[in-house]
Amino acid sequence: MNISKNNLYIKTASIIIIALLLLIPAAMIRSLIHEREQYYREAVREVSAKWSTDQTITGPVLTIPLERYATKGNEGDMNMRQLWVREYMHLMPETLNISGNINPSTRKRGIYKVVLYQTDLLLEGSFNLQSLDLEASNNVRYFPEEAFISLGMNDLRGIENQLALNWNGEMLDFNPGLPINDLMVNGIHVAVKIDSEQALRPSFSLQLKLKGSQQLMFAPVGKTTSVQLNSSWSDPSFTGSFLPDDRKVDDQGFRAQWQITHLNRSFPQQWIGSKYDVSQYAFGLDLLLPVDGYQKTYRTVRYAALFIGFTFLVFFFTEVLKRTFIHPVQYTLVGLALVVFFTLLLSVSEHLHFNLAYIIAAMSTLALVGLYVHAILRNRALTWLISGLLLLLYAFIFVILQLQDLALLAGSIGIFILLATVMYLSRKVDWYRINQQDRQSD
Protein backbone atom coordinates (compact mmCIF):
# COMPACT_ATOMS: atom_id res chain seq x y z
CA MET A 1 0.00 0.00 0.00
CA ASN A 2 1.15 3.58 -0.69
CA ILE A 3 2.76 5.31 2.27
CA SER A 4 0.70 8.46 1.76
CA LYS A 5 -2.35 6.33 2.45
CA ASN A 6 -1.09 4.58 5.53
CA ASN A 7 1.47 6.75 7.27
CA LEU A 8 -0.29 8.52 10.12
CA TYR A 9 2.12 11.44 10.24
CA ILE A 10 1.88 12.26 6.57
CA LYS A 11 -1.90 11.92 6.63
CA THR A 12 -2.20 14.23 9.65
CA ALA A 13 0.13 16.79 8.07
CA SER A 14 -1.82 16.75 4.80
CA ILE A 15 -5.11 17.31 6.63
CA ILE A 16 -3.65 20.23 8.55
CA ILE A 17 -2.25 21.79 5.36
CA ILE A 18 -5.59 21.42 3.58
CA ALA A 19 -7.40 23.03 6.54
CA LEU A 20 -4.97 25.96 6.61
CA LEU A 21 -5.28 26.49 2.86
CA LEU A 22 -9.08 26.54 3.16
CA LEU A 23 -8.79 29.44 5.59
CA ILE A 24 -7.57 31.59 2.69
CA PRO A 25 -10.92 31.61 0.82
CA ALA A 26 -12.64 32.04 4.20
CA ALA A 27 -10.61 35.22 4.72
CA MET A 28 -11.53 36.34 1.20
CA ILE A 29 -15.20 35.94 2.14
CA ARG A 30 -14.65 38.41 4.99
CA SER A 31 -13.51 40.94 2.42
CA LEU A 32 -16.56 40.11 0.32
CA ILE A 33 -18.85 40.78 3.28
CA HIS A 34 -17.17 44.14 3.86
CA GLU A 35 -17.56 44.96 0.15
CA ARG A 36 -21.27 44.09 0.14
CA GLU A 37 -21.80 46.15 3.25
CA GLN A 38 -20.11 49.10 1.55
CA TYR A 39 -22.51 48.69 -1.38
CA TYR A 40 -25.36 48.89 1.12
CA ARG A 41 -23.93 52.05 2.73
CA GLU A 42 -23.52 53.59 -0.71
CA ALA A 43 -27.17 52.83 -1.51
CA VAL A 44 -28.18 54.53 1.75
CA ARG A 45 -26.10 57.61 0.86
CA GLU A 46 -27.55 57.81 -2.64
CA VAL A 47 -31.16 57.59 -1.47
CA SER A 48 -30.51 59.97 1.44
CA ALA A 49 -28.88 62.48 -0.90
CA LYS A 50 -32.10 62.68 -2.89
CA TRP A 51 -34.40 62.68 0.16
CA SER A 52 -32.62 64.12 3.19
CA THR A 53 -29.78 62.89 5.38
CA ASP A 54 -29.89 62.04 9.07
CA GLN A 55 -31.00 65.00 11.19
CA THR A 56 -29.75 66.52 14.43
CA ILE A 57 -31.93 69.31 15.84
CA THR A 58 -30.08 71.92 17.90
CA GLY A 59 -31.94 74.76 19.55
CA PRO A 60 -33.67 77.10 19.58
CA VAL A 61 -30.80 79.26 20.89
CA LEU A 62 -31.01 83.01 21.57
CA THR A 63 -27.99 85.02 20.40
CA ILE A 64 -27.29 88.68 21.27
CA PRO A 65 -24.47 90.56 19.49
CA LEU A 66 -22.05 92.65 21.54
CA GLU A 67 -18.90 94.64 20.97
CA ARG A 68 -15.90 94.58 23.26
CA TYR A 69 -13.27 97.31 23.36
CA ALA A 70 -9.96 95.59 22.71
CA THR A 71 -6.34 96.44 21.99
CA LYS A 72 -4.67 94.97 18.92
CA GLY A 73 -0.88 94.64 18.91
CA ASN A 74 1.78 94.85 21.60
CA GLU A 75 2.27 97.79 23.90
CA GLY A 76 4.75 100.29 22.40
CA ASP A 77 4.23 98.91 18.92
CA MET A 78 3.58 101.58 16.28
CA ASN A 79 0.77 99.40 14.87
CA MET A 80 -0.96 99.07 18.23
CA ARG A 81 -4.54 100.30 18.07
CA GLN A 82 -7.76 100.08 20.03
CA LEU A 83 -11.04 99.11 18.43
CA TRP A 84 -14.43 97.55 19.03
CA VAL A 85 -14.53 93.78 18.33
CA ARG A 86 -17.85 92.08 17.49
CA GLU A 87 -18.73 89.00 19.55
CA TYR A 88 -21.90 87.00 20.24
CA MET A 89 -23.48 85.91 23.49
CA HIS A 90 -25.55 82.71 23.37
CA LEU A 91 -28.40 81.96 25.77
CA MET A 92 -29.89 78.48 26.11
CA PRO A 93 -33.63 77.97 26.78
CA GLU A 94 -34.84 77.67 30.36
CA THR A 95 -37.22 74.92 29.27
CA LEU A 96 -37.38 72.99 26.00
CA ASN A 97 -40.16 70.51 25.31
CA ILE A 98 -40.20 68.50 22.07
CA SER A 99 -42.99 66.12 21.18
CA GLY A 100 -44.22 64.52 18.02
CA ASN A 101 -44.58 61.54 15.73
CA ILE A 102 -42.12 59.82 13.40
CA ASN A 103 -43.64 58.31 10.27
CA PRO A 104 -41.16 55.81 8.74
CA SER A 105 -41.06 54.42 5.23
CA THR A 106 -38.63 52.35 3.15
CA ARG A 107 -37.20 52.84 -0.33
CA LYS A 108 -35.37 50.27 -2.45
CA ARG A 109 -32.09 50.81 -4.24
CA GLY A 110 -31.36 47.63 -6.15
CA ILE A 111 -31.63 44.81 -3.62
CA TYR A 112 -31.10 47.16 -0.66
CA LYS A 113 -33.71 48.87 1.49
CA VAL A 114 -33.22 52.30 3.05
CA VAL A 115 -35.24 53.67 5.97
CA LEU A 116 -36.64 57.18 5.56
CA TYR A 117 -38.88 59.15 7.88
CA GLN A 118 -41.09 62.21 8.16
CA THR A 119 -41.63 63.92 11.49
CA ASP A 120 -44.24 66.30 12.85
CA LEU A 121 -42.63 67.95 15.88
CA LEU A 122 -43.76 70.62 18.31
CA LEU A 123 -40.98 72.60 19.96
CA GLU A 124 -41.98 74.88 22.81
CA GLY A 125 -40.40 76.42 25.87
CA SER A 126 -39.15 79.67 27.33
CA PHE A 127 -36.01 81.72 28.00
CA ASN A 128 -34.96 83.33 31.27
CA LEU A 129 -33.63 86.86 30.68
CA GLN A 130 -33.36 87.77 34.36
CA SER A 131 -29.67 86.90 34.47
CA LEU A 132 -28.86 89.10 31.47
CA ASP A 133 -27.20 92.42 32.13
CA LEU A 134 -27.31 94.33 28.85
CA GLU A 135 -26.21 97.67 30.25
CA ALA A 136 -23.35 99.21 28.26
CA SER A 137 -20.03 99.95 29.95
CA ASN A 138 -16.74 101.48 28.93
CA ASN A 139 -15.50 98.19 27.55
CA VAL A 140 -18.66 96.38 26.39
CA ARG A 141 -21.82 97.43 24.58
CA TYR A 142 -24.75 95.20 23.64
CA PHE A 143 -27.12 95.22 20.66
CA PRO A 144 -30.34 93.54 21.84
CA GLU A 145 -32.19 95.03 18.88
CA GLU A 146 -30.09 92.69 16.65
CA ALA A 147 -30.84 89.54 18.65
CA PHE A 148 -31.88 86.41 16.78
CA ILE A 149 -33.01 82.84 17.38
CA SER A 150 -31.10 80.00 15.69
CA LEU A 151 -32.36 76.48 15.01
CA GLY A 152 -29.78 73.99 13.78
CA MET A 153 -30.35 70.90 11.62
CA ASN A 154 -28.10 68.81 9.38
CA ASP A 155 -29.99 69.04 6.09
CA LEU A 156 -32.25 71.98 5.32
CA ARG A 157 -33.80 70.09 2.40
CA GLY A 158 -35.71 68.12 4.99
CA ILE A 159 -37.90 71.09 6.01
CA GLU A 160 -41.43 70.49 4.69
CA ASN A 161 -43.35 73.50 5.99
CA GLN A 162 -42.98 77.26 6.13
CA LEU A 163 -41.52 77.71 9.59
CA ALA A 164 -42.73 80.52 11.82
CA LEU A 165 -41.69 81.15 15.42
CA ASN A 166 -44.36 82.10 17.94
CA TRP A 167 -42.35 84.53 20.08
CA ASN A 168 -44.48 85.74 22.96
CA GLY A 169 -47.59 85.64 20.78
CA GLU A 170 -45.94 87.28 17.75
CA MET A 171 -45.47 85.15 14.62
CA LEU A 172 -42.02 85.58 13.05
CA ASP A 173 -40.89 83.85 9.85
CA PHE A 174 -37.57 82.03 9.78
CA ASN A 175 -34.86 82.81 7.23
CA PRO A 176 -32.45 80.25 5.73
CA GLY A 177 -28.88 80.02 6.95
CA LEU A 178 -27.12 81.15 10.10
CA PRO A 179 -25.52 84.58 10.70
CA ILE A 180 -22.69 82.87 12.61
CA ASN A 181 -21.38 79.34 13.08
CA ASP A 182 -20.38 79.39 16.74
CA LEU A 183 -22.77 76.58 17.68
CA MET A 184 -24.09 75.07 14.45
CA VAL A 185 -22.99 74.55 10.88
CA ASN A 186 -26.38 74.37 9.16
CA GLY A 187 -29.69 75.83 10.23
CA ILE A 188 -32.17 78.68 10.06
CA HIS A 189 -32.64 81.89 12.05
CA VAL A 190 -35.17 84.59 12.83
CA ALA A 191 -34.70 88.06 14.30
CA VAL A 192 -36.41 88.74 17.67
CA LYS A 193 -36.79 91.80 19.82
CA ILE A 194 -35.13 92.01 23.23
CA ASP A 195 -35.83 95.19 25.19
CA SER A 196 -36.58 96.33 28.72
CA GLU A 197 -40.32 96.34 28.12
CA GLN A 198 -40.42 92.69 27.14
CA ALA A 199 -41.26 89.92 29.59
CA LEU A 200 -38.31 88.47 31.45
CA ARG A 201 -39.40 84.94 30.50
CA PRO A 202 -40.37 85.09 26.81
CA SER A 203 -42.04 81.93 25.56
CA PHE A 204 -41.69 80.35 22.13
CA SER A 205 -43.20 77.56 20.07
CA LEU A 206 -42.93 76.28 16.53
CA GLN A 207 -44.32 73.42 14.48
CA LEU A 208 -41.61 71.60 12.54
CA LYS A 209 -42.31 69.13 9.76
CA LEU A 210 -38.98 67.54 8.95
CA LYS A 211 -37.88 64.57 6.85
CA GLY A 212 -34.65 62.63 7.08
CA SER A 213 -33.13 59.16 6.83
CA GLN A 214 -32.37 56.54 9.46
CA GLN A 215 -31.20 58.74 12.37
CA LEU A 216 -32.93 61.53 14.33
CA MET A 217 -31.03 63.26 17.13
CA PHE A 218 -31.57 66.19 19.53
CA ALA A 219 -29.13 68.41 21.42
CA PRO A 220 -30.11 68.99 25.09
CA VAL A 221 -29.76 72.78 25.02
CA GLY A 222 -32.51 73.49 27.56
CA LYS A 223 -31.89 73.84 31.25
CA THR A 224 -34.59 71.21 31.31
CA THR A 225 -34.98 69.30 28.04
CA SER A 226 -37.91 66.95 27.56
CA VAL A 227 -38.42 64.87 24.40
CA GLN A 228 -41.32 62.54 23.74
CA LEU A 229 -41.58 60.58 20.47
CA ASN A 230 -44.05 58.08 19.05
CA SER A 231 -43.73 55.96 15.93
CA SER A 232 -45.08 52.87 14.20
CA TRP A 233 -41.51 51.60 13.68
CA SER A 234 -41.04 48.44 15.73
CA ASP A 235 -37.26 48.11 15.64
CA PRO A 236 -35.64 51.34 16.92
CA SER A 237 -32.14 51.64 18.34
CA PHE A 238 -31.81 54.37 20.98
CA THR A 239 -28.42 56.00 20.67
CA GLY A 240 -26.37 59.03 21.64
CA SER A 241 -25.35 60.37 25.04
CA PHE A 242 -28.65 59.58 26.80
CA LEU A 243 -31.05 56.65 26.76
CA PRO A 244 -34.79 57.16 27.25
CA ASP A 245 -36.06 57.40 30.82
CA ASP A 246 -39.23 55.64 29.72
CA ARG A 247 -39.78 53.57 26.60
CA LYS A 248 -42.11 50.94 25.20
CA VAL A 249 -41.35 48.90 22.08
CA ASP A 250 -43.68 46.30 20.56
CA ASP A 251 -44.96 45.11 17.20
CA GLN A 252 -47.14 48.20 16.86
CA GLY A 253 -44.23 50.64 17.23
CA PHE A 254 -42.47 52.47 20.03
CA ARG A 255 -42.91 55.29 22.49
CA ALA A 256 -39.91 56.94 24.15
CA GLN A 257 -39.40 59.84 26.55
CA TRP A 258 -36.20 61.61 27.65
CA GLN A 259 -35.84 64.05 30.55
CA ILE A 260 -32.45 65.82 30.72
CA THR A 261 -31.28 68.71 32.90
CA HIS A 262 -28.35 71.13 32.58
CA LEU A 263 -26.55 69.14 35.27
CA ASN A 264 -26.18 66.24 32.83
CA ARG A 265 -23.93 68.20 30.46
CA SER A 266 -20.74 70.24 30.72
CA PHE A 267 -21.77 73.50 28.98
CA PRO A 268 -23.54 76.36 30.84
CA GLN A 269 -26.74 78.21 30.09
CA GLN A 270 -24.97 81.14 28.46
CA TRP A 271 -21.53 82.02 27.13
CA ILE A 272 -19.76 84.16 24.57
CA GLY A 273 -18.18 82.79 21.39
CA SER A 274 -17.64 79.16 20.39
CA LYS A 275 -16.31 77.73 23.64
CA TYR A 276 -18.56 74.66 23.75
CA ASP A 277 -19.71 71.93 21.40
CA VAL A 278 -23.32 71.10 22.23
CA SER A 279 -23.58 68.38 19.56
CA GLN A 280 -21.42 65.94 21.55
CA TYR A 281 -24.33 65.48 23.97
CA ALA A 282 -26.88 64.74 21.23
CA PHE A 283 -29.25 61.82 21.78
CA GLY A 284 -32.00 60.16 19.82
CA LEU A 285 -32.61 57.03 17.79
CA ASP A 286 -31.74 54.99 14.72
CA LEU A 287 -34.48 53.41 12.66
CA LEU A 288 -32.90 50.05 11.91
CA LEU A 289 -33.94 47.55 9.28
CA PRO A 290 -34.70 44.10 10.73
CA VAL A 291 -33.01 42.51 7.70
CA ASP A 292 -29.35 43.48 7.91
CA GLY A 293 -27.28 40.33 8.33
CA TYR A 294 -23.81 41.59 7.42
CA GLN A 295 -22.63 41.78 11.01
CA LYS A 296 -23.96 38.32 11.87
CA THR A 297 -22.54 36.85 8.67
CA TYR A 298 -19.16 38.34 9.52
CA ARG A 299 -19.38 36.82 12.99
CA THR A 300 -20.26 33.45 11.44
CA VAL A 301 -17.20 33.52 9.16
CA ARG A 302 -15.03 34.00 12.24
CA TYR A 303 -15.93 30.41 13.13
CA ALA A 304 -14.64 29.09 9.78
CA ALA A 305 -11.67 27.44 11.46
CA LEU A 306 -14.04 25.66 13.85
CA PHE A 307 -16.28 24.45 11.00
CA ILE A 308 -13.35 23.09 8.99
CA GLY A 309 -11.39 21.76 11.96
CA PHE A 310 -14.35 19.97 13.52
CA THR A 311 -15.44 18.39 10.23
CA PHE A 312 -11.93 17.19 9.41
CA LEU A 313 -11.58 15.88 12.96
CA VAL A 314 -14.74 13.81 12.56
CA PHE A 315 -13.48 12.46 9.24
CA PHE A 316 -10.07 11.67 10.71
CA PHE A 317 -11.49 9.74 13.65
CA THR A 318 -13.78 7.91 11.27
CA GLU A 319 -10.69 6.75 9.41
CA VAL A 320 -8.86 5.76 12.60
CA LEU A 321 -11.68 4.04 14.47
CA LYS A 322 -13.53 2.47 11.53
CA ARG A 323 -10.41 1.64 9.50
CA THR A 324 -11.77 3.38 6.42
CA PHE A 325 -9.87 5.55 3.98
CA ILE A 326 -10.75 9.13 2.93
CA HIS A 327 -8.47 10.66 0.30
CA PRO A 328 -7.02 14.19 0.80
CA VAL A 329 -8.87 15.26 -2.36
CA GLN A 330 -12.12 14.27 -0.66
CA TYR A 331 -11.12 16.27 2.41
CA THR A 332 -10.57 19.24 0.12
CA LEU A 333 -13.96 18.91 -1.60
CA VAL A 334 -15.78 18.69 1.73
CA GLY A 335 -13.82 21.69 3.00
CA LEU A 336 -14.79 23.71 -0.07
CA ALA A 337 -18.42 22.82 0.56
CA LEU A 338 -18.06 24.24 4.08
CA VAL A 339 -16.55 27.46 2.66
CA VAL A 340 -19.35 27.79 0.11
CA PHE A 341 -21.75 27.75 3.08
CA PHE A 342 -20.57 31.25 4.02
CA THR A 343 -21.08 32.73 0.55
CA LEU A 344 -24.49 31.08 0.39
CA LEU A 345 -25.36 32.55 3.80
CA LEU A 346 -24.23 36.04 2.71
CA SER A 347 -26.16 36.03 -0.56
CA VAL A 348 -29.39 34.64 0.90
CA SER A 349 -29.31 36.95 3.95
CA GLU A 350 -29.42 39.97 1.60
CA HIS A 351 -32.93 38.89 0.58
CA LEU A 352 -34.30 37.07 3.63
CA HIS A 353 -34.09 37.37 7.39
CA PHE A 354 -30.70 36.19 8.65
CA ASN A 355 -32.08 33.32 10.76
CA LEU A 356 -33.99 31.90 7.79
CA ALA A 357 -30.96 32.40 5.53
CA TYR A 358 -28.79 30.53 8.05
CA ILE A 359 -31.20 27.58 8.12
CA ILE A 360 -31.34 27.42 4.30
CA ALA A 361 -27.55 27.64 3.91
CA ALA A 362 -26.90 25.11 6.69
CA MET A 363 -29.44 22.55 5.43
CA SER A 364 -28.14 22.86 1.87
CA THR A 365 -24.55 22.32 3.00
CA LEU A 366 -25.50 19.41 5.25
CA ALA A 367 -27.38 17.74 2.40
CA LEU A 368 -24.43 18.18 0.04
CA VAL A 369 -21.85 16.89 2.54
CA GLY A 370 -24.12 14.06 3.71
CA LEU A 371 -24.74 12.74 0.18
CA TYR A 372 -21.04 12.98 -0.64
CA VAL A 373 -20.04 11.16 2.56
CA HIS A 374 -22.52 8.39 1.79
CA ALA A 375 -21.08 8.08 -1.71
CA ILE A 376 -17.48 7.69 -0.52
CA LEU A 377 -18.04 5.62 2.65
CA ARG A 378 -20.95 3.43 1.48
CA ASN A 379 -22.09 3.23 5.09
CA ARG A 380 -25.47 4.58 6.08
CA ALA A 381 -24.75 4.54 9.83
CA LEU A 382 -21.53 6.55 9.42
CA THR A 383 -23.29 8.97 7.09
CA TRP A 384 -26.01 9.66 9.65
CA LEU A 385 -23.43 9.95 12.44
CA ILE A 386 -21.30 12.50 10.58
CA SER A 387 -24.34 14.46 9.38
CA GLY A 388 -25.74 14.51 12.90
CA LEU A 389 -22.47 15.82 14.35
CA LEU A 390 -22.31 18.55 11.69
CA LEU A 391 -25.92 19.45 12.43
CA LEU A 392 -25.02 19.88 16.10
CA LEU A 393 -22.13 22.15 15.07
CA TYR A 394 -24.37 24.36 12.91
CA ALA A 395 -26.97 24.51 15.69
CA PHE A 396 -24.27 25.40 18.23
CA ILE A 397 -22.95 28.28 16.09
CA PHE A 398 -26.53 29.48 15.49
CA VAL A 399 -27.15 29.65 19.24
CA ILE A 400 -23.91 31.59 19.76
CA LEU A 401 -24.96 34.14 17.14
CA GLN A 402 -28.19 34.77 19.03
CA LEU A 403 -26.39 35.24 22.37
CA GLN A 404 -24.46 38.44 21.67
CA ASP A 405 -23.62 39.19 25.30
CA LEU A 406 -22.90 35.56 26.23
CA ALA A 407 -21.27 34.51 22.94
CA LEU A 408 -17.76 34.24 24.39
CA LEU A 409 -18.94 32.23 27.38
CA ALA A 410 -21.08 29.88 25.29
CA GLY A 411 -18.32 29.46 22.71
CA SER A 412 -15.69 28.69 25.34
CA ILE A 413 -17.92 26.11 27.03
CA GLY A 414 -18.77 24.51 23.68
CA ILE A 415 -15.14 24.22 22.58
CA PHE A 416 -14.23 22.82 26.00
CA ILE A 417 -16.93 20.14 25.67
CA LEU A 418 -15.75 19.36 22.12
CA LEU A 419 -12.15 18.95 23.27
CA ALA A 420 -13.24 16.79 26.20
CA THR A 421 -15.27 14.57 23.83
CA VAL A 422 -12.33 14.14 21.46
CA MET A 423 -10.02 13.28 24.35
CA TYR A 424 -12.56 10.74 25.66
CA LEU A 425 -13.06 9.03 22.28
CA SER A 426 -9.32 8.87 21.61
CA ARG A 427 -8.28 7.73 25.08
CA LYS A 428 -7.81 4.05 24.06
CA VAL A 429 -6.36 4.67 20.62
CA ASP A 430 -2.77 3.39 20.37
CA TRP A 431 -1.38 5.85 17.85
CA TYR A 432 2.04 4.14 17.73
CA ARG A 433 0.47 0.78 17.01
CA ILE A 434 -1.65 2.29 14.21
CA ASN A 435 1.48 3.72 12.63
CA GLN A 436 3.31 0.40 13.00
CA GLN A 437 0.40 -1.46 11.41
CA ASP A 438 0.48 0.98 8.52
CA ARG A 439 4.19 0.36 8.01
CA GLN A 440 3.73 -3.42 8.17
CA SER A 441 0.95 -3.24 5.62
CA ASP A 442 3.32 -1.38 3.30
Q: What is the pLDDT of residues 54-105, one digit of tens each?
A: 999 998 999 999 888 776 666 656 565 667 788 899 999 999 999 999 999 8
Q: pLDDT band for 5, please (50, 70, 90 cuts).
A: very low
Domain shared by 269 and 369, yes or no: no
Domain shared by 396 and 262, yes or no: no
Domain shared by 157 and 300, yes or no: no
Check which CATH number belongs to the domain holding 205 and give it.
2.60.40
Domain shared by 64 and 131, yes or no: yes
Q: Tell me, what's the pLDDT at 427?
A: 64
Residue 178 lies in a domain: yes
Domain shared by 322 and 244, yes or no: no
Domain shared by 17 and 95, yes or no: no
Q: Inform me whether the pLDDT recorded for 260 exceeds 90.
A: yes
Q: pLDDT band for 243, please (50, 70, 90 cuts).
A: very high
pLDDT in tens, 359-386: 999 999 999 988 888 888 888 888 888 8
Domain shared by 282 and 303, yes or no: no
Residue 48 lies in a domain: no
Domain extent for 326: 3-40+294-441
Domain shared by 278 and 327, yes or no: no
Residue 333 lies in a domain: yes
- Give dist(CA 36, CA 41) in Å, integer: 9
Please say which residue of 287, 305, 328 terminates a domain. Answer: 287
- Asked whether the bond before 60 is cis by omega within 30 degrees of 0, the reply is yes
How many domains, the chain? 2
Q: Tell me, what's the pLDDT at 1?
A: 38
Are the beta carbons of 143 and 65 closer than 8 angstroms?
Answer: yes
Residue 204 lies in a domain: yes
Q: Inform me whether the pLDDT recorded for 177 exceeds 70.
A: yes
Domain shared by 219 and 327, yes or no: no
pTM for the whole structure: 0.71
Q: Tell me, what's the pLDDT at 282?
A: 94
Q: What is the mean pLDDT of the chain?
A: 83
Domain shared by 370 and 314, yes or no: yes
Please say which residue of 265, 287, 309 terminates a domain. Answer: 287
